[in-house]
Structure 1
């Protein structure tokens, strides 16, 4: 095989070549220098080959990441979908479960908020779970503690109302704004603030963080659609497509 063709084959098929074909240690010094010169010459004349090779490598890495994520989701499905403390909405008996790890101060969580609502209400057969995952600083932590305390004191329906209000809150999340938010739902803020630093609220946050660490989640939003994990913002049409993929099996 001419060295020019060998260089092209090395880039495009990699391990498909016999191991000895690219063993530089088996070449003489002259053969090695000639090989390197041909590779360099070919790449300078055809730089698009590098783009193609990098694209193939990135695709393989993405496929490997998807497979690894799916394995993690399957191994931890009970903790993801049935932890006993996360809010569950949509259709409790839906054929596809969608889980969102979210942070109230996350711009992309806020961007996805209405689209997730539209997905759940428009589909009618999605079981939707919210995971409180505060990672963006003190206001995130304060907001999640407030929401979890509301859920533990006042139940799922009131929690969802407060969750939605926190997602739309334009002010800083502090004692003053959270007091006003509680009062807007006719809730006494004092017991909520007392509850926020309780072991019960801390346990929810700790458990969600531990699960996220197990799943390799470090950003928000992160979604789990069935057994697919999707990191980052997903527009409504893509969410609908993923749900249909899961539904089709």
Structure 2
């Protein structure tokens, strides 16, 4: 029986549909020759590997994006309208931006001023903050204090506490939080007494459950309408995403 050389087999395999080229039908010698030919081709043309990796990464990113859109749609009420998270910016804005934050997260701190600038300069963004303490006991203490402030003293007081905590340096302690509240003119004793209340527990538990459903494991994570941004993004990148969402 006449056998095709390995190079011809590879060319034929690339030209034919996948089901028409069955390596399993080759002899052991043909398979070995075919593998050697493929290896030789890739060694001579390594850019093909980079191109293939690029295509794979693009497909993975597109699949992740499509999955994120579906996750956001299923969890839209909990994300955008939970009734217990702080909401700022333009309350009637045409776009809602949600941020999952941890006060001890360096990238959350880096993003803080840039997010504030985005919301302020745009003027048409509704901004929702999700307390998501994942970096240890000091993160939990900070979030409990912030949530208790929101529940007892309202949104303006929460915003002052939020801004202070995200820029706070040093260890977070109960005494330090009380001093912080006093410096902001708040009823620190009442807030401290609220920190371990079931209502505060419920907010943290619900945000953790929401993050799990959305496959969020780090901070900051942003949701811009149906798009999810996992990790820090510079201001101009955020603006570009907002523009893209509006355009679509």
Query: Aligning the two structures, in what range does the TM-score lie when normalised by the shorter sequence?
Result: over 0.9
Match of residue 145 from structure 1: 144
Q: Write out aligned runs for 1:70-149 (5 A).
A: 70-149=69-148
Q: For residues 42-97 of structure 1, give each alpha carbon's deviation from its aligned partner in whole angstroms, at most 9, with x where no partner exists.
A: 11111221111111111111110000001111111111000000000000100000
TM superposition shift of 1:3: 3.5
Q: Does 1:196 align with 2:195?
A: yes
How does the TM-score come out when normalised to structure 1? 0.93
Q: Would the aligned equivalents of 1:3 and 1:38 in 2 still touch at CA under 8 Å?
A: no
Q: Which runs of 4+ in 1 moved over 4 A?
A: none
CA–CA distance in structure 2, aligned partners of residues 123 and 146 of structure 1: 30
Match of residue 32 from structure 1: 31
Gaps of 5+ in 1: 11-15
CA–CA distance in structure 1, aligned partners of residues 115 and 186 of structure 2: 27
Q: SS of the counterpart of 1:89?
A: strand
CA–CA distance in structure 2, aligned partners of residues 57 and 246 of structure 1: 25
CA–CA distance in structure 1, aligned partners of residues 170 and 35 of structure 2: 61
TM superposition shift of 1:4: 4.6
Please report the RMSD computed on the Cα atoms of aligned residues, expressed in angstroms.
1.5
Q: For residues 10-38 of structure 1, give each alpha carbon's deviation from its aligned partner in whole angstroms, at most 9, with x where no partner exists.
A: 9xxxxx832231x2212122221111110
Alignment match of 1:2 (pick from 4, 8, 17): 8
Match of residue 42 from structure 2: 43
CA–CA distance in structure 1, aligned partners of residues 243 and 48 of structure 2: 36
- Say how many residue pairs are matched: 242
Match of residue 13 from structure 1: none
CA–CA distance in structure 2, aligned partners of residues 50 and 245 of structure 1: 31
CA–CA distance in structure 2, aligned partners of residues 101 and 6 of structure 1: 52
Stretch of structure 1 that moved more, 190-199 or 222-231: 190-199
Q: Would the aligned equivalents of 1:4 and 1:42 in 2 still touch at CA under 8 Å?
A: no
Over 3 Å counting, the alpha-carbon distance change for 1:124 and 1:40 in structure 2 is same
How does the TM-score come out when normalised to structure 2? 0.94
CA–CA distance in structure 2, aligned partners of residues 17 and 103 of structure 1: 51
Stretch of structure 1 that moved more, 119-128 or 171-180: 171-180
Match of residue 20 from structure 2: 20
Over 3 Å counting, the alpha-carbon distance change for 1:29 and 1:129 in structure 2 is same
TM superposition shift of 1:151: 0.5
TM superposition shift of 1:6: 5.4
Q: For residues 155-179 of structure 1, give each alpha carbon's deviation from its aligned partner in whole angstroms, at most 9, with x where no partner exists.
A: 0110001000001101211112211
CA–CA distance in structure 2, aligned partners of residues 88 and 77 of structure 1: 15
Gaps of 5+ in 2: 1-6
